[in-house]
Chains A and B, each alone.
Chain A
């Protein structure tokens, strides 16, 4: 239970790890948009090939990626099947009201590859970027939003603290569950409703303790002169290096490539 961490970071020394987190986040957004702009097999294959290259470059074991795909596999199968059977046009195979068309197959493959690419790329981001770097990058990227009176620093601070306390609260949940079990609480049998009810004696102490922790943390933060985001400096400065510019160029090239394939082979389905 203790090993569940949000955005499982996998420390390694790779090109992808060293990239500026801001560049990684922005590139991810660009690629996600791009993957949904692939209109034929050529451009889809090109985009997918790029995703696989990133996965291999990240030096994160492939089984980690497979693990993250496992969570989503049911959704992939269901959406692919739905697309398979709801295609329009001439049926090539029919059984009762179920019919399979070329358009259906085409849609199913596209949806499947797109979702898999999406998951792989987002996993690549969380595997290669530490949670602190992520929140840090988000804070800097969202900085322009302060114009609209959005409290960017506060949001980032909340995310940092939430990430910090995930393992602590998980450990505590474990402890409380053991304590309640030792008193004869039954959490593993009965209907779903009974099991949910059995969680109440776990959740109440957990919430009470979370409030107590929050209160103490606030005191500790005040003791360390925390006064909000204003006038605060950071130890780690983010600056763009040569490889960051290079990766931006690669991103642009991939976008150009997908557009090119879309235009060059408009009839490849």
Chain B
């Protein structure tokens, strides 16, 4: 079995009012995520992607179907904290995830909860802060940091627990372009250098391009999956489900439709310019 295995999961939130029947948020979704990979889950608002993220560390438990983390069933209450140790979840708003009023103490919060001896916490906190490049800010108050820096502190707080996998639920949605770049660089680095499995929930196509594999969700179901190139070459399918493809991909897709000869669709600006040069020169 793969590291994360989602098997035919359905989920609905409890109904708020009598008249309205509860909406099925997850509708029989299944996929596997191998260890050490970088996966992006795409979908527009209401596609169930955030709900799915909360299933990966047993914050939510499926109504039917199963989620296995490293072979552990998330519906087994005894395993909840073992699962959360393995899979850390970073949320959208960095302001609401930080507990302590000093950066390093916030990073220590997770390991402190795990009951790790003080000397080792110190080592882990320093390592985690260095890994997200926030070591020199360790004694600052979180409110003095920028959004991108706060989100990196939140990520450090998860890393200090030494998880195998980090799930990020739209980690860049509330950040400015600079903060977004900082966070994405950090995530990619953690995946490549530290071998941490990354699952990033996002609705930015440009971010999904960074992943090894993309899962596209729509109405609680898996719409399509594959490498970013495979997924984004299905421009028509994506458009039909109100999803975008990266701008450069769309540009080349339109050019191709007009009869310009382009072999494959590009994913990044650099790729696009070199392709266009080839065509034009």
Contacts and interface: CB of A to CB of B under 8 A. Distances in A.
A167, A219, A233 pick with most chain B CB within 10 angstroms: A233
Contacts of A232: 112-113, 115
B110 interface: yes
Contacts of B113: 224-227, 232
Interface in B82-112: 84-85, 88-89, 91, 93, 95-102, 104-105, 108-112
B118 A233 contact: yes
A86 to B, nearest CB: 45
Given A167-B141, A217-B99, A225-B110, A235 B84 contact: no
Interface string A142-165: 000000000000000000110110
B57 interface: yes
A132 B112 CA distance: 15
A225 B96 contact: no
B21 interface: no
Nearest to B114: A225
B110 A233 contact: no
Interface string A130-149: 11100000000000000000
A132 B97 CA distance: 17
B89 A223 contact: yes
Contacts of A222: 59, 84
Contacts of A217: 96-97, 99
A8 to B, nearest CB: 12
B122 interface: yes
Contacts of A212: 96
A227 B104 CA distance: 20
B118 A132 contact: no
A161 B157 CA distance: 16
B81 interface: yes
Interface string A213-237: 1001101111111110001111111
A168 interface: yes
A28 B84 CA distance: 42
Nearest to B104: A235
A13 interface: no
A267 B105 CA distance: 54
Contact of B122 (A216, A220, A235): A235
Interface in B53-78: 57, 59
A224 B125 CA distance: 14
| Binding site secondary structure of chain B | helix
Contacts of B43: none
Contact of B118 (A160, A225, A226, A237): A237
A17 to B, nearest CB: 13
Contacts of A167: 141, 143
A161 B99 contact: yes
A224 B102 contact: no
A224 B158 contact: yes
B121 interface: yes
Contacts of B89: 223
A225 to B, nearest CB: 4
A223 B112 contact: no
A174 interface: no
Nearest to A216: B96
B88 A223 contact: yes
B220 interface: no
B116 interface: yes
Nearest to B83: A225
B118 A221 contact: no
B115 A224 contact: no
A186 interface: no
Contact of B99 (A2, A130, A219, A221): A221
B41 interface: no
Contact of B100 (A164, A220, A223, A233): A164
A263 to B, nearest CB: 46
A223 B57 contact: yes
B117 interface: yes
A224 B95 contact: no
B101 A132 contact: yes
Contact of A131 (B95, B101, B104, B114): B101
Nearest to A213: B96
A122 B125 CA distance: 32
Contacts of B131: none
Contacts of A237: 118
Contacts of A213: 95-96
Interface of A: 2, 130-132, 160-161, 163-164, 167-168, 171, 212-213, 216-217, 219-227, 231-237
The 3 closest A-B pairs by CB, nearest first: A220-B97, A216-B96, A235-B108
14 contacts: A130-B101, A221-B109, A224-B88, A224-B113, A224-B161, A233-B111, A233-B112, A233-B116, A234-B112, A234-B121, A235-B105, A235-B108, A235-B118, A237-B118
Given A2-B143, A220-B97, A223-B59, 12 more contacts: A130-B101, A164-B98, A168-B95, A212-B96, A216-B93, A217-B96, A223-B88, A225-B81, A226-B113, A227-B113, A231-B115, A233-B118
